[in-house]
């Protein structure tokens, strides 16, 4: 058996998230079908984590074992024949049998992209969160600074989440502005709770538009009650950029 790791980019617009499911099409299913075709056997992958409906990836990682014989350097090209254009395998590597895309991950980086536009942009509606006026990036960065370090992130967990360990270590949380209209939030940490990035971005944008203060953001984080954080940012601005091993 060979053990393989794939790095994948996908536009999540047309899928019901990454995970294989019964009544809708997840990216995992499309990928496993393509792998089945090139390796001539049923393949099940482990992924670094799920992404929700509408969420994108520049560097999702999956691992699997196969007895198939396609040379590693040809896997990406072979898969391209069976994958739709919105799912691209960027890299294929051999890994030791102990490697697991989910359990071997030590950190992840996400980006959240916003477009500031008074009139809706029909071209970026599936790839950014469009907001009407430029928020106060400095205030948002002050809020972001509070996230860095080891914290209990219960405040930004999702309602449906059953995770026990809500302590996560955030290495980096940075707002950047590109040109007149694009804003991007980059966050890197050892783990993320379900909906955590979208909940954080939602609350930080409320800071940036003056709806809550940085001090209030700090209290929300410290009190740790997810009902205080408010509405999550929508899925289409979120990108899983890189998984670190």
What ranges make up the beta strands (E) of the chain? 2-10, 46-47, 56-66, 87-94, 107-116, 129-131, 149-152, 167-178, 182-189, 238-244
Contact 138, 144 (CB under 8 A): no
Smallest distance, its own copies to C-beta of residue 122, A:
5
Smallest distance, its own copies to C-beta of residue 16, A:
17
Q: Does 9 sit near its own copies (CB under 8 A)?
A: yes
From the list 52, 86, 145, 225, the catalytic residue is: 52
Which span sits near its own copies by CB under 8 A: 43-51, 81-89, 93-101, 217-225?
A: 81-89
Task: Kindly give, in sequence order, each residue whose CB lies less than 8 Å from that of residue 22, ignoring residues fewer than 6 positions away.
Answer: none
Q: Does 87 sit near its own copies (CB under 8 A)?
A: yes
Contact 101, 7 (CB under 8 A): no
Q: Pairing mode, if any, of strands 56-66 and 46-47?
A: antiparallel
Q: Does 178 sit near its own copies (CB under 8 A)?
A: no
Choice between 71 and 122, CB closer to its own copies: 122
Catalytic-residue membership of 52: yes
Smallest distance, its own copies to C-beta of residue 32, A:
18
For 46, 59, 92, 141, the CA distances from 71, given in Å and listed in that order, are 21, 22, 10, 46
Pattern of binders to its own copies over 34-63, x per CB under 8 A? Answer: ----------------------x-------
Instruction: Select from 4, 5, 6, 11 the one that contacts its own copies (CB under 8 A).
Output: 11
Instruction: Select from 86, 93, 182, 190 the one that contacts its own copies (CB under 8 A).
Output: 86
| CA-based radius of gyration for the chain | 19
Task: Kindly give, in sequence order, each residue whose CB lies less than 8 Å from that of residue 26, ignoring residues fewer than 6 positions away.
Answer: 15, 16, 17, 18, 19, 20
Point out which residues bind its own copies (CB under 8 A): 9-11, 56, 80, 85-88, 90, 119-123, 125, 127
Catalytic amino acids? 52
């Amino acid at each position: 058996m060979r053990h393989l790791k794939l790095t994948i980019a996908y536009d999540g617009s047309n899928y019901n998230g990454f995970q294989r499911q019964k009544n809708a099409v997840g990216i995992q299913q499309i990928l496993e079908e393509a792998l089945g075709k090139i390796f001539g056997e049923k393949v099940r992958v482990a992924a670094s984590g799920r992404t929700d409906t509408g969420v994108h990836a520049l560097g999702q990682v999956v691992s699997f074992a196969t007895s198939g014989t396609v040379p590693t350097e040809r896997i990406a090209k072979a898969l391209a024949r069976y994958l739709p254009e919105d799912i691209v395998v960027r890299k294929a590597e051999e890994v030791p049998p102990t490697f697991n895309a989910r359990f071997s991950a030590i950190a992840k980086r996400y980006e959240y992209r916003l477009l500031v536009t008074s009139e809706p942009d029909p071209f970026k509606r599936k790839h950014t969160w469009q907001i009407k006026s430029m928020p106060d990036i400095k205030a948002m960065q002050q809020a972001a600074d509070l996230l860095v370090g080891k914290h209990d992130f219960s405040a930004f967990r999702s309602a449906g989440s059953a995770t026990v360990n809500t302590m996560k270590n955030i290495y980096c949380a940075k707002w950047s502005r590109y040109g007149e209209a694009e804003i991007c939030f980059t966050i890197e940490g050892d783990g993320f709770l379900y909906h955590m990035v979208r909940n954080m971005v939602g609350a930080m944008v409320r800071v940036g538009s003056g709806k809550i203060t940085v001090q209030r953001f700090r209290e929300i984080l410290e009190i740790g009650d997810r009902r205080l954080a408010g509405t999550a940012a929508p899925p289409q601005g979120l990108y899983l950029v890189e998984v670190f091993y």
